[in-house]
Amino acid sequence: MEPKKFELGDIVQMKKQHPCGTNEMEIIRMGMDIRIKCVGCKHSVLIPRAKFEKNMKKVLRSKETNEGEEG
């Protein structure tokens, strides 16, 4: 199993879905803790890195390939 790799700006899929019904989150801040923003309702949460890695399923889109999106 390859290690999880994620970067700032990536859209990731979480194992548990957000109460609003989506499980896609955008990484908006990286550090000891990770801040992610729900793609559905734009709510952001700060969670410890270890917990994030455990709860994250996979990276859906990385920032470099994330083209043609509008605000």
- Name beta bridge partners: 26: 11, 37
Any contact of residue 18 with Zn ion (CB under 5 A)?
Answer: yes
DSSP letter for 2, please: P
Residue closer to Zn ion by CB (options 43, 49) is: 43
Task: Tell me the CA distances in angstroms from 47 to 10, 29, 54, 61, one per residue in order.
Answer: 16, 10, 11, 20
Residue closer to Zn ion by CB (options 39, 59) is: 39
Region of 28-36, 40-48, 51-59, 63-71 interacting with Zn ion (CB under 5 A): 40-48
Q: List interacting residues with Zn ion (CB under 5 A).
A: 18, 20, 38, 40-41
